[in-house]
Amino acid sequence: MGKLRLQNLTRGGKIRIGLLALALILPFLPFISDYVLHIAILVLLYMILALGLNIVPGFNGLLDLGYVGFYGIGAYTSGLLTYHLGLSFWVIIPLAFINGAIWGILLGAPTLRLTGDYFAIVTFGFSELVVLFLTNEIWLTRGPLGLPGIDVVSIDLTLFGGPKWEFIGELPYYYLAIVMVLVTVFVMYRIQDSRLGRAWFAIRDDEVAAVSCGIKLLAYKVIAFAISAAFGAVGGSFFARWMTFLSPDMFKFWESFLILCMIVLGGMGNIWGVMIGALVLVSMSEVLREILPLLGLPVQSRFLAFGLIMVLMMRYRPAGIMPIAAVAAKMRAGRVKRKKVKPAVGIKK
Amino acid sequence: MFLQQLVNGLTIGGIYAMIAVGYTMIYGVIQLINFAHGEIYMLGAFFAITFISFLGLPFYVAFLVAMACCAVCGVLLDIVAYRPLRQSPRLAALITAIGMSIFLQNLAMIIWGSRPKPFPHGALPAYFEKTAVTFGGVNLSWFHLFIFTITIIMMVGLNLIIKKTKWGKAMRAVAQNKTMAALTGINVNRVISYTFALAGALGGAAGIMVGAFYNAIFPTMGYVAGVKAFAAAVLGGIGSVPGAMLGGVILGVAEALGAGYLSSLYRDGISYAVMIIVIILIPAGLFGKVLKETKKSM
Amino acid sequence: MKKRQSFLFVGLLVCVALVFGMTSGAMAGKIRIGVAAPFTGNLASYGDNIKAGVNLKLKEINDAGGINGQKVQLVWGDDLCQPKDAGIVGAKFAADKSIVAVIGHLCSSATLAAMPIYVRAGLPALSPTSTNPTIGDVGKGWFFRNCYTDDFQGKYLASYVVPKLLGKKKVAIFYENNDYAIGLKDSFVAGAKSAGLTVTGAEAYMTGTTDFTPQLTKLLRDKPETIFLCGYHPEGALIAGQSRKLGFNGPLFGADGIDNEDYIKIGGKAADNTYCTVPFLAASAGPAGKDFAKQYKKAYGRDVDWMSANAYDCLGILAQVIGKVGTDRKKIRDGLAAMNWPQFGYKGVTGLTYFNEKGDCSKPAFVKKVENGKFVAAK
């Protein structure tokens, strides 16, 4: 790595630093109300989730339909630990990470040897079971009654004789979310450039070739799944401490689909693409929520649009708005353009 | 009570079987889980009540016409969404399928509203309500018999089509090996469309019967029924039509008995659990072919 | 390629910023009140009822010149009855300083999700329909409701409706697995003990189930005299139909969740002989209530329901308080909290409303019955 000077940065790098700076000063710009911050935090949360999900379809080429299950597990872990034991958020994050990873391994180990379709369905079944469990086991989760009154995040230095700052309002959560996103992006980049990441890409691009290079398929896939689940759980734990209220119907399949939409739209496998996808989808969602009633269309059209977007994206730009060359090539490889050949003279059908 | 639960289970099971058969046929020919199949089932019910309410068609006519419409919908689904992606990786096709499912659900919500709709009053033949047979403390109404009869007729009919007709042979050929089938002169695309039409018609019929029997039709009814039927197809062995039928019945009975004797809250969970366990332990299901990942050397 | 992408991106950001900027702006001179309910989605029909009731009152207020000369404007927030969306709607309302109070939310889980935001921002919320008892604790003084809570309804059903009105002793409960029904069931079971009723069985079901025959078969085996439809009307109607098919001919009863025209539409003949408690019944209401029912029928062509009536009164209560204390959020909250004795209460179409320290109010319940395909007052 060369010296990190401003002139050494690529154009892309400069844009990203600029965006980061913009994000940091956002709350102080005019017209930015708590509502905008709320949406911004939602965007950042979905960025973390999308980056987590990205590992499985984006880096590994498998379809995970049950991501919301890990999100829910993480959220309820965080919520319940806070509610009953009053644990600090900073302790909960690593716990949630580990919990998510454990569940990822538990679910992944028996299922990752299946073909893609079966794996997708099994993950879907898993997330539905998670929701059912969260809803029905009232003794543990309070089920549909919801879990209100979760403490907010706080930085507690009382042990060292310092003050205790509680996170009140959207602003502290906004910066916390930015920090979490930065950490996640950093981790993703390190993984991408590591041996682990390269093994994953090999698996994605051609499994047979990967195996013949000595890559243990199942082990790497399980690791991928576990890390993806871990990030989902971390996102969930943030969500619990931010909304301070949990209810099982926040974790339906629709969330999995939404996050999938984000990575499909943005560019599967592309870290920045995925983040753009999250930004676009969440903002568009809110913009549409405002505009649609004014245009006289039902708000339902928003969901319709998402379904349509998925279909169109897969048809025309399956690798997303910001495609990665490898993924784009793979998606294109199968599609041979059929030319209409005029039959030679004399040959009739 | 056991007998009553059994009857309940067989009724639900027959419905699952009809939907499951659709999943399995489509998977057989294009190796794709058609997530939007549940929506065709839902559309069948909506078409039926629309025809009855707006065109004043009598029940049986509306039934057939709605089935035909569903067949057309199935074919359109294939042509519009799946055919362009025939050569694309599985991931793209799966995502498209989910996208279409969401699209159709919400389209139905916009067209017909999301409130449950009852079957129009007086549309069903009056004698449906009356009891036909009583045995062991269980009342079977004519409607029950109607459902059983139609289910059996369709299953038998489907088997005949697959085993005896030219189209059926072509379907089996395409399911076995597309390239070879094309080499023998079969128009693969047309066969696939035909499969979608059949699957659509059956799914639609199931939807109409469920809508009429339970008297509630709503846009999200295809979602849960679709997943359960898929579990049934997996149980029976995906790709095998008799397997799907058997799987449907087994799942229906298991669900009824489970809900009746164990916990009714995890009723849907039974299907998911069955699906997961079957896929992990016996991926071939009861009758199907093995479709596992290529590698064993992990 | 890169250039076009950057253009798109910047264009997107601008659009986003514009929309947010626009919608957060205030309209000078009008009193803005937020209304949060599901206006689309499965429960859109409930949202329609709220809209209908509130709009009727709005017209009344504005035709009379508004509050202290200022006209009232309503801001709609569609929360789809989902906690996450409720949080977004809540954030929007809280951040918009021109909104002085909120009527909402409809669903208890949505209210629970939005209340922390309202508490933080200091925005009073008055709900016409959220009945979960725990909201009062989360509300920390900023939450008020003019409907009764679930514990009340359950006890009322157990102590009065079943033994006295229906004259039955053995009850089978079929409850929906959501916060509304579970609270209702728990309070019913508690009340049933002291009223000497026997609960022969209790089965739960998930929202959206269409086939209840396995559970019904199990419940009916214990020969209950009546079935408690503890949930909302879509499933309630189906349960009614299927229980009749299985040969159950006794009366059915439920709470306010059953009170909806769709129950009769979907249940058909099976819906007959169903009783339900409601917070508002035009036939039993005072002259103001009867008048309101007439107006409602004229304006919307359908019979009035309790949600519309409560929503109508919500706006009325807010109008009265704003008229007294002005448009400061904190003052409005204090004004609502000051309505803690009957003589400080609000006389509306649903009766007299006044709040206790948790923001709850005690309102009477009425009983309706389905007879020959119509809702009538039960004797």
Q: Dump pLDDT digits (tens) for C303-341.
A: 788 888 899 999 999 999 998 888 889 999 998 888 888
Q: From the CA of A142, how many Å to the nearest CA of chain C?
A: 9
DSSP designation for C174 = E
Q: Dump pLDDT digits (tens) for B148-173.
A: 888 889 888 888 888 889 888 898 88
Q: Dump pLDDT digits (tens) for A114-164.
A: 777 788 888 988 998 998 888 888 888 888 878 887 877 777 766 666 677
What was the pLDDT predicted at C54?
92
Report the C-alpha gap between A186 and A174 in whole angstroms: 18
Q: Kindly report the average pLDDT of chain B as a whole number.
A: 84
Q: Dump pLDDT digits (tens) for C105-121.
A: 998 888 988 998 999 88
Report the C-alpha gap between A109 and A102 in whole angstroms: 11
User: CB within 8 A of B238, min separation 6: which ones?
Assistant: B23, B24, B27, B28, B244, B285, B288, B291
Report the C-alpha gap between B233 and C129 in whole angstroms: 43
Q: From the CA of B191, how many Å to the nearest CA of chain C?
A: 35
User: Which residues of chain A lie closer than 8 angstroms to C183, CB-CB?
Assistant: 145
Between chains, do A35 and C92 touch, taking CB under 8 Å as contact? yes
Q: Dump pLDDT digits (tens) for B195-224.
A: 999 999 999 999 999 888 888 888 888 888
User: CB within 8 A of A294, min separation 6: which ones?
Assistant: none
User: Which residues of chain C lie closer than 8 angstroms to A35, CB-CB?
Assistant: 20, 24, 91-92, 94-96
Specify whether domain C151-278 bears CATH 3.40.50.2300. Answer: yes
The encoded tokens of residue A135 equal: 């809803």
What was the pLDDT predicted at A158?
66
Between chains, do B234 and A121 touch, taking CB under 8 Å as contact? yes
Report the C-alpha gap between C358 and C339 in whole angstroms: 12
User: Regarding the domain delimited by C30-148+288-363, which CATH topology (the fold level of the hierarchy) does it fall under?
Assistant: Rossmann fold (3.40.50)
Between chains, do C218 and B114 touch, taking CB under 8 Å as contact? no
Stretch B165-186: mean pLDDT: 88
Range with the largest mean pLDDT of A142-156, A236-250, A291-305, C2-16: A236-250
| Residue B113, Cβ density class (10 Å: 0-12 exposed, 13-18 middle, ≥19 buried) | middle
Is pLDDT of C160 > 90?
Answer: no
With bands split at pLDDT 50, 70 and 90, how would you rate the model's confidence at A42? very high
How would you write chain A as a 3-class SS string?
Answer: CCCCCHHHCCHHHHHHHHHHHHHHHHHHCCCCCHHHHHHHHHHHHHHHHHHHHHHHHHHHCCCCCCHHHHHHHHHHHHHHHHHHHCCCHHHHHHHHHHHHHHHHHHHHHHHCCECHHHHHHHHHHHHHHHHHHHHHCHHHHCHHHCEECCCCCEEECHHHCCCEEECCCHHHHHHHHHHHHHHHHHHHHHHHCCHHHHHHHHHHHCHHHHHHCCCCHHHHHHHHHHHHHHHHHHHHHHHHHHHCEECHHHCCHHHHHHHHHHHHHHCCCCHHHHHHHHHHHHHHHHHHHHHHHHHCCCCCHHHHHHHHHHHHHHHHCCCCCCCCHHHHHHHHHCCCCCCCCCCCCCCCC
C17-26, long-range: CB within 8 Å, 24+ apart, which pairs? C17/A31, C19/A286, C19/A287, C19/A290, C19/A291, C20/A31, C20/A33, C20/A35, C20/A36, C20/A39, C20/A286, C21/A31, C23/A290, C23/C92, C24/A31, C24/A33, C24/A35, C24/A36, C24/C92, C24/C95, C24/C96, C26/C96, C26/C97, C26/C98
- H or E element, residue B154: helix B142-164
Between chains, do A300 and B114 touch, taking CB under 8 Å as contact? yes
Report the C-alpha gap between A34 and B277 in whole angstroms: 47
Between chains, do B110 and A136 touch, taking CB under 8 Å as contact? no
With bands split at pLDDT 50, 70 and 90, how would you rate the model's confidence at A102? very high
Q: Are A277 and A268 in contact (CB under 8 A)?
A: no
With bands split at pLDDT 50, 70 and 90, how would you rate the model's confidence at A335? low
Look-up: residue for tokens 């998670």?
Answer: A130
Is pLDDT of B242 > 60?
Answer: yes
Stretch B230-251: mean pLDDT: 87
Between chains, do B8 and C41 touch, taking CB under 8 Å as contact? no
Tell me if domain C30-148+288-363 and domain C151-278 are identical in fold: yes
Report the C-alpha gap between A132 and B269 in whole angstroms: 7
Residue ranges per structural domain of chain C: 30-148+288-363, 151-278
Is pLDDT of B192 > 70?
Answer: yes
The pair phi, psi for residue C31, each rounded to 5°, is -90, 120
Does B216 reach chain C within 8 Å, measured CB to CB? yes
What was the pLDDT predicted at A349?
46
Nearest to C113 by CA among A243, A192, B260, B160: A243
Report the C-alpha gap between C319 and C149 in whole angstroms: 24
Is pLDDT of A41 > 80?
Answer: yes
DSSP designation for B292 = B
Stretch B237-253: mean pLDDT: 87
Stretch C367-373: mean pLDDT: 83
Is pLDDT of B65 > 90?
Answer: yes
User: CB within 8 A of B210, min separation 6: which ones?
Assistant: B15, B41, B45, B221, B225, C210
Whole-model pTM: value is 0.85
Is pLDDT of B231 > 60?
Answer: yes
Per-residue burial over C122-146, b = 16 or more CB atoms within 10 Å of its CB, e = otherwise: ebbbbbbbbbbbbbbebbeebbbbb
Dihedral sign for Cα C308, C312, C314, C315, please: positive
For the ranges C4-13, C123-132, C201-210, the lowest mean pLDDT is seen at C4-13
The one-letter amino acid at A141: T
Nearest neighbour of C113 by CB, restricted to A11, A39, A243: A243
Is pLDDT of A4 > 80?
Answer: no
Among A14, A82, A166, A245, the residue to mutate for chain C (most C Cβ within 10 A) = A245
| Residue A149, Cβ density class (10 Å: 0-12 exposed, 13-18 middle, ≥19 buried) | middle
Between chains, do C215 and B261 touch, taking CB under 8 Å as contact? no
Nearest to A155 by CA among A144, A146, A166: A166
Residues 154-183 of C with CB under 8 A from A: 177-179, 182-183
What was the pLDDT predicted at B77?
93
More confident residue, A17 or C6: A17
Q: Kindly report the average pLDDT of chain A as a whole number.
A: 82
Q: What dihedral do alpha carbons C207, C213, C214, C215 form, nearest 10°?
A: 60
Nearest neighbour of B98 by CB, restricted to A310, A335, A336: A310
Report the C-alpha gap between A45 and A239 in whole angstroms: 8
Q: Dump pLDDT digits (tens) for C272-290.
A: 888 888 887 777 777 888 8
Q: Dump pLDDT digits (tens) for A53-98.
A: 998 887 777 888 889 999 999 999 999 988 888 888 888 999 999 9
The full length of chain C comes to 379
What was the pLDDT predicted at A2?
47
Residues facing C228 on adjacent strands: C173, C253
Does B208 reach chain C within 8 Å, measured CB to CB? no
Does C202 reach chain A within 8 Å, measured CB to CB? no
Between chains, do C40 and A290 touch, taking CB under 8 Å as contact? no
User: CB within 8 A of A229, min separation 6: which ones?
Assistant: A52, A70, A100, A101, A103, A104, A107, A108
Is pLDDT of A183 > 90?
Answer: yes
Between chains, do B139 and C247 touch, taking CB under 8 Å as contact? yes
